[in-house]
């Protein structure tokens, strides 16, 4: 497992989350002079986007994120996104949050699968950050935060070898391997099958630095070419004209990671058969997670920097529905397997008396709590850490 995967996973999933929220907020916005107090306006949309992006790119938060560390469980990361999505006046109920997370994960999974070469995952990340900067182009202070993260990405990843990027890609694929949720956009574009698995193309541009397949060259012991053999291929391959830019500004060439919701179209998610079968076996396969201590430390550090904004004075929070109607949202909440739904966890990590209880509750939510060990056994450090909180 690569210890450099977490920042890429977080930023790309966060980028997809912002794409979806922006599209839904635009669809539900009402002109300011016609909107009631409980209806969205474009001013509210910009405020929500600015608040979430400010929290997402908080300097201390990014410092913790970029420290070399192993990837954490799906539920641990989901807890962070729950908190991030509620970092403004917007409120999502459980069904809408489930749908939001499904769309985020399946979109990025598809992008990872389609990357021509492992290093192009970095270009996908840059595409997400480029679009995020468009969301906040009128807020120079927040733009500086995003640019600082851009520089951290360049410093951290541009010097990595092809083998290290391959390990990052494998780590991401392991994270996504059991997720087969059908998304209407992918189904309509025929890039996803009815079982939730993606259809990968056999044609198109080859990775930068490689040749179009169809020729075998043989060399002697001196390195001289002595024979050529051509063969036919099933696909129609082309050589890319240039490599995408890995600089702060530039043409990324690769289109993966750009906003696929820029053209408004309905998006639905459905549980595939394989995912339903997986849900029925989840309880059978539960075992204590040996990374419980590390995940607790991770959540304590990261969630401590993510504050849920409470409406000031008489201001009320705005609810965002990711479904077409409230009835659809309620139906989704009732029909979704319990193992694939998560509660929104609000953690006041800055309040010492409640901090230990909240972190203990996280362990319960993550289903990683272990029996109290005898002195010297595994897990003693975890209990000592909780006692110190």
Mean pLDDT by 10 residues, the chain (389 residues): 91 96 84 63 88 93 90 84 87 87 94 95 97 94 95 96 96 94 90 93 89 93 94 89 92 93 63 50 42 53 55 57 61 59 45 49 45 39 35
Is 70 among the domain residues?
yes
What's the number of domains the chain is made of? 1
CA–CA separation, 112 and 135 (whole Å): 24
What confidence score (pLDDT) does residue 80 get?
Answer: 87
Is 124 among the domain residues?
yes
What confidence score (pLDDT) does residue 145 get?
Answer: 95
Is 378 among the domain residues?
no
What confidence score (pLDDT) does residue 368 get?
Answer: 42
CB 288 within 8 A of CB 370: yes
What confidence score (pLDDT) does residue 271 get?
Answer: 56
Is 349 among the domain residues?
no
What confidence score (pLDDT) does residue 350 get?
Answer: 45
What confidence score (pLDDT) does residue 219 get?
Answer: 96
Structural domain of 48: 5-198+246-263+319-335
What confidence score (pLDDT) does residue 346 get?
Answer: 45
- Reference 60, options 299, 302, 297, 300; nearest CA is 302
What confidence score (pLDDT) does residue 92 get?
Answer: 85
Structure tokens at 311: 């409406």
Cα of first residue to Cα of last residue in the chain, in angstroms, is 30
What confidence score (pLDDT) does residue 3 get?
Answer: 92
Is 254 among the domain residues?
yes
Structure tokens at 324: 């077409």
What confidence score (pLDDT) does residue 369 get?
Answer: 37
Is 286 among the domain residues?
no
What confidence score (pLDDT) does residue 70 get?
Answer: 87
CA–CA separation, 260 and 342 (whole Å): 26
Please state the separation of Cα 134 from the chain's center in Å. 19
Is 358 among the domain residues?
no
**Burial of 114 from C-beta contacts in 10 A (0-12 / 13-18 / 19+):** middle
Is 186 among the domain residues?
yes
Residue 271: strand pairing partners: 181
């Amino acid at each position: 497992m690569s210890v450099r995967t977490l920042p890429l996973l977080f930023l790309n999933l966060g980028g997809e989350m912002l794409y979806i929220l922006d599209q839904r907020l635009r669809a539900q916005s009402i002109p300011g002079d016609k909107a009631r107090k409980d209806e969205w306006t474009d001013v509210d949309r910009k405020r929500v986007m600015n608040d979430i992006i400010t929290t997402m790119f908080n300097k201390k938060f990014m410092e913790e994120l970029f420290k070399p560390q192993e990837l954490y469980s799906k539920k641990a990361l989901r807890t962070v996104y729950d908190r991030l999505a509620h970092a403004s006046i917007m409120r999502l109920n459980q069904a809408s949050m489930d749908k939001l997370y499904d769309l985020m994960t399946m979109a990025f999974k598809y992008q990872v699968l389609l990357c021509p070469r492992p290093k192009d995952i970095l270009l996908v990340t840059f595409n997400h950050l480029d679009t995020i900067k468009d969301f906040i182009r009128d807020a120079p202070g927040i733009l500086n935060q995003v640019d600082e993260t851009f520089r951290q990405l360049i410093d951290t990843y541009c010097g990595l070898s092809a083998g290290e990027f391959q390990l990052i890609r494998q780590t991401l694929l392991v994270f996504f391997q059991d997720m087969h949720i059908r998304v209407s956009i992918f189904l309509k574009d025929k890039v996803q099958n009815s079982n939730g698995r993606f259809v990968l193309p056999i044609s198109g541009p080859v990775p930068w630095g490689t040749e179009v397949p169809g020729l075998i060259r043989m060399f002697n012991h001196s390195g001289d070419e002595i024979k050529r053999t051509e063969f036919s291929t099933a696909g129609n391959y082309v050589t890319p004209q240039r490599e995408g830019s890995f600089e702060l500004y530039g043409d990324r060439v690769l289109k993966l990671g750009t906003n696929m919701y820029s053209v408004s179209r309905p998006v639905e998610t459905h549980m595939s058969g394989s995912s339903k079968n997986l849900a029925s076996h989840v309880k059978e396969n539960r075992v204590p997670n040996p990374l419980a201590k590390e995940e607790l430390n991770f959540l304590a550090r990261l969630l401590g920097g993510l504050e849920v904004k409470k409406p000031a004075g008489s201001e009320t929070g705005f609810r965002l529905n990711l479904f077409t109607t409230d009835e659809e949202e309620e139906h989704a909440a009732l029909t979704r397997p319990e193992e694939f739904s998560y509660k929104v966890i609000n953690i006041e990590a800055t309040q010492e008396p409640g901090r230990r209880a909240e972190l203990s509750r996280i362990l319960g939510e993550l289903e990683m709590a272990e029996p109290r060990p005898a002195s010297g056994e595994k897990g003693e450090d975890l209990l000592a850490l909780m006692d110190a909180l």
